[in-house]
Every structure is written in structure tokens, then in C-alpha cells.
Structure 1
Amino acid sequence: MPSFDYLVYLFMIISGFGMCNGYYQKLKTGTYSIDAFYSKRYKRTVPFFALLILLNCVIEFTPKTVCEGLMEITMLFGFLPNNTLSTIGVAWTLGAIFAFYIIFPFIVFLLYSPKRGIVSFVISLVITYMCQCYFMTERFVTENFVMRHSFLYCLPYFLIGGIVYLYKDEIERFVNQFKVISLCVVLALTVGYYITPDVINSINIVVIKTLILYTGWLGLALGYDNRLMNNKFTNYISNLSMEMYLSHMVVFRIVEKIGIMERIESPVIRYMTTYLLLVMLLVMGLTIYRKAINKLDELR
């Protein structure tokens, strides 16, 4: 389902909003150390990611896997001209997001005022359009190139998250005051998203569609206290979400190597069994990993 693939753009918008929520004012006023900012990014991501790369290299040990794994562990692979690596293949998202982390001080400059932020966002849309029509065609890129793996192509999503941050108080007040209207508008945007084609007159409008829909979702979330989506269970899963995303293919390969699924003839039962087993192993494994990391921190 292509629309499920596009949910990764929502993750980028939330990343833009979350980073601005945590560090925009600190970096703008110079009250937060650049060294502390980058150190926290690497400490948060690299240990677990390195463990996944190691497991992947053990499962599929080839010169290609080792070379790509070494590149990925630098966290700079989002700047590659073709960010489509097969070692932890789903990590292309992390490459794009870490590229955003690395240039975040520049993002603060682009969002220094609401006016500059909007101008920067419009320019980023023009860049994305030029990428689609020129810079990311066969003239410049390989045959299997995927546009969304490029940080430049995804820049509007990060910037719109920052713009939502700049106007978060106004958005929250509006949604709180007009909850029913806001909900109806977002539902209409959701329906419109699915009935509108992705391509109009040979022009791909997925970026525009997803920007409008996901910005609406985020805006609604700012002023809508929904207990169905905001509770202990969802908060616990959300704290594991990045690790689950990065590790699910590695765990799947382990399940695949064991050969349990080959004994189930029904495709539907095989799929559901694989899915449930995968989720169970992920939650259990990541819970143990988190507790082990916390214990090591306490010992330090």
C-alpha cells in the first residue's frame, strides 16, 4: 500500500517539530553547547544501530555488507548521492533524518523568524520540484535511485514541522476553540488525500498531498487530547518506535533463517504468525535492551 510507505514523511514532519521543540530556542539564543547537541544525537542512535549492523553482517557476511555497514555507522550516509544501501535497508530514513540533525543549526537560521521560515519552505518546495523534473532524473542519478532517500528532496517535510512549531500556540488555541471544525477539516483532508490521484498532467503531487494531510494531522494533535492515542501503552510503544523500525528487518531475517514459517502452508496464517512473532520478539528484545542500557548507565 503506497500510502503506508508515505507515512515516513509524517515521521519527518514530527522530527522537524520535535527537534525545534527541544533545541530551537536553545540554539537560537546560544545557551546550548554544539558539542552536547551532536554528542547526544550519536549516543542516542549509534550503539543500537551498530549492534544491528553487526548482527546483519553475521547473518549475511559479504564484502558489500561490511563496506555498507561501515559507511552507515558513520551516520553520514544520508549525504551519499544515492542513499540506497542494502545493509539495514530501512535505515535510509535514519540517514535522511541524521542529515537533518547535522545541519539543524542551519535549519534554525532558516526558521529564525516566521517570515524567513515560510520563504525557506517555499524555496524548499521549488528545490523538490526541480529534483523531480531535473536533478533526480536519469541525467544525474542511477536507474534504481529513489527520490525520497535524498535529504534535499525531503527538506520541505522537516521545514514544515519547524513552521508548525513556530505557530504552535496559535494552532493549539484554534483547535481547542474549534475542535469539531478542526476534526472535520482533517477528516476531509484525509478523504481528499485518498480520492486525489498522485499524478496530475504528468506532475507528481505526492509531496503536496502528504504535506497538507500530515500538517493537518500534526496540528490537530497539538490541540486534541485524545486518550485513545495518548495513554501508557502508546507512550511505551512510542519510546521504542525508532528501535522497532530499525530492527524489524533484522529480526525478520533471524525468524526467516530459523525456518519456522516454512512449516505453515496457509499464506494468511503464515503472515499473521510471522507478524505476531515479530512484534513479540521486538517488544521483548527491545525492553531487555533498554533495561540493560539503563543498568549500565547506573553503574557508570
Structure 2
Amino acid sequence: MKKYYGSADGLRTIACIGIVMMHVAENSTYSIQGYLYDTVIPSFTDFVFLFMMLSAFGMCCGYYNKMLSGKISLSEFYGRRFKKIFPFFAVLVLLDVVMSPSAGSFCEGFADLTLMFGFLPDPRSIAVIGVGWFLGLIFVFYICFPFFCVLIENGRRAWTVFGLSVVWHFMCLYYFGASRANVLYSACFFLAGGMIYLYREQIERWNKWAAAGLVLSAAVVYYVIGRNTAACLVLSAAFLIYAVSDQGKLLNNRITKFIGGISMELYLSHMVAFRLAEKLKLTSALGDGWEQYIFSVIIVLCGAAVFSLVLQKSLKKLGEKVSVTGRKITGQEER
């Protein structure tokens, strides 16, 4: 029986809110200065690496043993992944194409709808649902997941592959010119999530305060030495280790469960909510200081949450109707 790590939802909540804060600041011209606004908030873009670790860890929790033991077929596995992410993303893509029709948006929309755009040289060049590059990367990871499970089947192999993935990362960074949207560039973060899964039982026995101290130390190092690969790896891993070692209310509560449960939908739709708020002048109603920035972040988060919930509910009802209709048609054919 797989174990549910509720604190992972807390990390998804932190990462999701942080990325929204970063994008609101990046796409606005508020007259705010200081270390927090100029350095800390822009660094929240690196929460995507934490999302990568969480994705690998979560997938291992759900499918690692099933995949290696053959208790789930590849058709079933890929079908579940496709059904989980495609309907919501497809609606966003179609809305974007309809709002800004052009030959370019049609091509980019086609690429998005196939979910295969993560194989492009630079998925971040796609403007239609621009933040969707991360979903493209995640889908590539899903495709590779059976092989991923084999790679981390035992500790020695996992550490060897992890070391090679770090070499690949620097090759991508300094020779091949690949970005974080490339699976080889980001493989070390996915593998780190998988390795934390392998050692989860030992990590669960950690003292939560020791794990919290690791997070604090890693954060200090991250900001002192700069946002490099090692700092991102250590900090993201420290966050996940803390979540595995502590299942207390700080990260595991109703709020984090709610936000964590729709974190991917919030991530994909928050820029849609921001553009709408911008058109309604809500992003400048209170001036251009901290009050307006905080208000804008709240408006975007709430707007994206409402949009996500309404769309999810609508898609669920549509799916149920299609399923019922399909059963009726099949029954008529059988008679």
C-alpha cells in the first residue's frame, strides 16, 4: 500500500505561490525596490526545480513498484497521465489561439495539443500558454518514466546515473546551449526526487528540526553563493527531505491540500488571470507600491483558483455525459 505524503502538498503550495509572485512582479512596473523585491522574489522562478523533484517523487510513490513489478500496463499508465493533464491544458490552449489568431499561434497551438512540444529544441519559444513549457517537460518525463524506474532500481545504479545527469546538466549549460526546458538539462532534479523516494524510510526517521535546519542552511547558501545548479539542487532536496521527515500541520493542512491539489492548474492558468486583471485595471487600482503588488498577487491567485475549479468541474461533467452517451450507444448496438 502506497503512503501518502501530505506535506508534499505544502511544498506544491509554496512553489505555486512563489512562481505567481515572481510572474506578477516580472510582468509589472511597480516602483518597488529592495532586496526582497529585487532579489528574493525573482529567485522564485527556481521553484520549477522543486516542482520537478516533487513530480518525480510523487510519480515514484504512485507507480514505481507497479512499474517494476509489471502490475500496470504501459497503455494504462500513459492513458492516466494523458487524461489527467490534457483536457484542462487543451481548453487553455484553444482559448489562447482564439483570442490571438494567427498562423504562428495555430502552429504553436498544434504543438501544445499534441503534448509533444517538450521534444522541441527550445519549448520556451512557444508563446501560446508560454508557461506551458514546464508541462511539455513533465510529459517528456512521463514518457521516460518506465526507463527512469529501471535507472533507480537500486542505490548504486541510482547514484551512478545521478552523477552522469549532473555531467549532462553542465554539458547542456556550457556546450549544447540547452535550457531548463530540456529533459537532459533538468534530469538531475528528477533523479534527485527519485533518490529521495528510494531513501524515504530512512528520511522519515530524521528529526524534523534537523531537517528544518538543513532547509535554512541551504537557503542561506543559495542566496550567498548565487543561484547556481548546486545551490538549486541542495535547496530543493532540503525542502523535499523536510516534507518527508515532517508530516505536521505546517505543510499538511486543509489549505495546502486544496492549493496543492490544483497547483498544476494554478500554474497553467495564472497568467490568464493576470492578463484579465490587467485589462480590468485591477493591477494598478491601488498605485504602484507594495499594497498594489500584494493585492495583484491575491487577485491572480484567487482568479486562477476559481477558473481552475470551474473548468475542472465543467470538464468532469462533460466527461460523465460523454461516458453515459457512449454506454447508451454501445448498449443499442449490442441489442
* 2:141 is the alignment partner of 1:100: yes
The DSSP-based 3-state class of the residue aligned with 1:112 is coil
Amino acid corresponding to residue 260 of structure 2 in structure 1: S
1:9 corresponds, among 49, 61, 66, to: 49
The structure with higher relative contact order (CA 8 Å, sep 6+) is 2
Which residue number in structure 1 is paired with residue 272 of structure 2?
Answer: 250
2:101 corresponds, among 58, 61, 76, to: 61
Contact residue 50 and residue 236 of structure 2 kept, 8 A: yes
| CA gap 1:265/1:232 in 2 versus in 1, 3 angstroms | closer
1:123 corresponds, among 164, 175, 181, to: 164
* 2:69 is the alignment partner of 1:47: no
Shift of 1:182: 2.8
The DSSP-based 3-state class of the residue aligned with 1:230 is coil
* 2:219 is the alignment partner of 1:190: yes
* 2:202 is the alignment partner of 1:170: yes
TM-score (norm 1): 0.87
Which residue number in structure 1 is paired with residue 59 of structure 2?
Answer: 19
Which residue number in structure 1 is paired with residue 303 of structure 2?
Answer: 281
Shift of 1:262: 7.9
Q: 1:131-170: CA deviations, max 9, x gaps?
A: 122111xxxxxxxxx6112111000000110011111101
Which residue number in structure 2 is paired with residue 203 of structure 1?
Answer: none
Q: How does 1:110-149 map to 2 (within 5 A)?
A: 110-136=151-177, 147-149=179-181
Whole-angstrom CA distance in 2 between matches of 1:280 and 1:185? 32
Amino acid corresponding to residue 49 of structure 1 in structure 2: F
Which residue number in structure 2 is paired with residue 266 of structure 1?
Answer: 287
Amino acid corresponding to residue 264 of structure 1 in structure 2: A
Q: 1:170-193: CA deviations, max 9, x gaps?
A: 1112x1xx3333322332222122
Which residue number in structure 2 is paired with residue 233 of structure 1?
Answer: 255
Whole-angstrom CA distance in 2 between matches of 1:51 and 1:284? 15
Contact residue 55 and residue 250 of structure 1 kept, 8 A: no
Q: 1:72-116: CA deviations, max 9, x gaps?
A: 111111111111211101111111111100111110111121111
Amino acid corresponding to residue 151 of structure 2 in structure 1: L
| CA gap 1:273/1:104 in 2 versus in 1, 3 angstroms | same
Percent identical: 39
Which residue number in structure 1 is paired with residue 30 of structure 2?
Answer: none
Whole-angstrom CA distance in 1 between matches of 2:81 and 2:196? 22
1:214 corresponds, among 236, 239, 242, to: 236
Whole-angstrom CA distance in 1 between matches of 2:42 and 2:87? 31
Task: Provide the aligned C-alpha RMSD in A.
Answer: 1.8
| CA gap 1:151/1:271 in 2 versus in 1, 3 angstroms | same
| CA gap 1:271/1:62 in 2 versus in 1, 3 angstroms | farther
Amino acid corresponding to residue 302 of structure 2 in structure 1: M
TM-score (norm 2): 0.79
Whole-angstrom CA distance in 2 between matches of 1:232 and 1:214? 23
Q: 1:217-238: CA deviations, max 9, x gaps?
A: 1111111123122111110111
Whole-angstrom CA distance in 2 between matches of 1:183 and 1:272? 27
